[in-house]
Amino acid sequence: MVDADLIRDDGTRIGINDRIKSNNYFGTVKFIGEVESTEGLWLGVEWDDPQRGRHNGIHNGKQYFTTKHATSGSFVRPKKVELGVTCFAALKDKYGRINEKNAGVDVEELYVTGSNNQITVVEMVGAEKINIKQSKLENLTDVMLTDTGVYGAGPQNDLEKFTPNIRELDISKNLISSWIEIVEICKQLEYLKLLDLSENYLQIPENPHTLQNSFLKIKVLCLNKMNYTWQQILQCSSMFPSLKQLHMHSNCLCRLSAPSTELQKVVLLNLECNDISQWDEILKLADLPNLKTLIISDNNIEKIYFPNVAKNGKTTMFRSLELLLVNNNRISEWSSINELNKLYSLTEVQLRGNPLMSTNSDETVRQLLIAKIGGLQTCQKTQVLAKERRGAEIDYLKRFGPDWVKAGGNEDSAKNNVSPEFLQQHPRYMELIQKLGAPEESEMKPESTKLKDHLVHIKITCPDHPDKGTVQKKLPQTMTVQKVKALAKRLFKIHAADVTVSYVSHRMEGPEIELDNELKQLYFYSIENDDILQVKW
């Protein structure tokens, strides 16, 4: 009987708007029936890839179904497509089967994989121990069923019976067509915390917020590559009352809107790989009270700004934001970095792949980022230590000292009258002077923009061996700590294998700072003229 080709293994019948797969192409069923001048049953399919089809649902002048693209439609015989399997069937196929008393299923005790009902035993070293562990389905907590043909939960509560402890479920890139099927899966998994639905074409139900009881404990939701609009994403999020993380990259989003009741508990939003070009769109998220991490990498953003506060103030926008990822955008002006200093809680930023990052060497860019954003604790994935911050800020004062003087800056605060233009470009400069003192005239002579490329006059002592005296030297800022130690051994005839070097600043009172990385150069520690290097062993 031809109609039997429309029946899945579990007895359910495929219908309109269900998802199918054929030769690794995904599509949606738009028509089931006979086609004029042909025999037998056909499926009218709209392919996700419009290049896969041949027409728009019209055959011999008759419209059988409609498509979004002129060439995304095809007629396909049911035998040529994959109709899908239940979630539990896919899970058993991937993670193995076991004989359980009272389970009512005939299962094997080895880890097996397979497709199209073909079982393959996996041979590996130590396989027996691994297989027994992995085939105990009731112990599974993290399940990945990407591209396994899952169409839905199936007619029975097998997930609840045999896999009740699943915490994380990845059912991305499957044949699920409806959020109702997602409900049927999730309501069987009491402890589910993470749900990845990426690359599924899911029809959003009416009144989605009424489905909240099926998703009460889910905290992480992935809706990547779903072709959803921002409004549809907000509708989906309304189903998840405990949501903490929402990932929605690669949805072609270009316009956002301010959430009203949605996303109020979210601490992480991932909007990378979309088409957002205007920072104003990002500002529509500024009132989310708990947002700590915002990922907007791989968009087209050119500028960052917070217009509700003066240059030296702290904005009320993104009050809780600690981590901002803006890699691979189009930011080219340092004014955007100045604006980041307005964020009240920001401690980490990543800006790789922006035009701004190619304006100076990596070391100089890092120093400028640290100096311009006062609260940074991690920069470009690397921790900012206190001594590095101090050095970056001192170098910043030196670097732009001549511009400061030209703009009306003066070491005598009574004579200081800096122009608004300079303060607009360097809003932290006066704050740093208050913290570290104004740069001296000798430090502000025009030099190479690479401040590390000059000699520094220092004193070298051995505080534990005062009889060895003090040596004065001019050393290049590019000299490594390793070479400094070798020099000290020669100068003071030290035969000990382990030598430590630290320095004491002539500018500021405080503890000595150890030069603790032999591969770092002196400029990294911002050693200045008349500082003292102390050698100990």
Nearest to 295 by CA among 255, 314, 268: 268
Please report which confidence band the pLDDT of residue 506 belongs to, taking 50, 70 and 90 as the band edges.
confident
CA-CA distance, 180 to 172, in Å (whole number)?
A: 16
User: What domains lie within the chain, and their CATH numbers?
Assistant: 2-80 (2.30.30.190), 252-384 (3.80.10.10), 401-444 (no CATH), 455-536 (3.10.20.90)
Strands 42-47, 25-33: pairing kind = antiparallel
CA-CA distance, 220 to 307, in Å (whole number)?
A: 32
What values do phi and psi take at 502, rounded to 5? -135, 170
Helices (H), 187-333: 230-237, 279-283
pLDDT of 5: 82
**Single-letter residue type at 425:** Q
Q: What is the largest CA-CA distance in the chain?
A: 108
**pTM for the model:** 0.77
Spell out the SS3 assignment of 347-393: CEEECCCCHHHHCCCHHHHHHHHHHHCCCCCEECCEECCHHHHHHHH
**What percent of the chain has pLDDT above 90?**
66
pLDDT average, residue stretch 373-382: 94
CA-CA distance, 378 to 308, in Å (whole number)?
A: 26
Please report which confidence band the pLDDT of residue 522 belongs to, taking 50, 70 and 90 as the band edges.
confident
Strands 293-295, 323-325: pairing kind = parallel
- Find out whether 438 and 409 touch, Cβ atoms under 8 Å: yes
Residue 536 CB contacts under 8 Å (≥ 6 apart), including other chains: 462, 463, 464, 499, 500, 501, 502
CA-CA distance, 138 to 132, in Å (whole number)?
A: 12
Please report which confidence band the pLDDT of residue 28 belongs to, taking 50, 70 and 90 as the band edges.
very high
The answer, yes or no, to whether residue 401 has pLDDT greater than 90, is yes
- Find out whether 460 and 533 touch, Cβ atoms under 8 Å: yes
Q: Which two tokens stand for residue 13?
A: 């019948």
Neighbour-count burial for 90-126, b at 16+ CB within 10 Å, e otherwise: bbbbbbbbbeeeeeeeebeebbbeeeeeeeeeeeeee
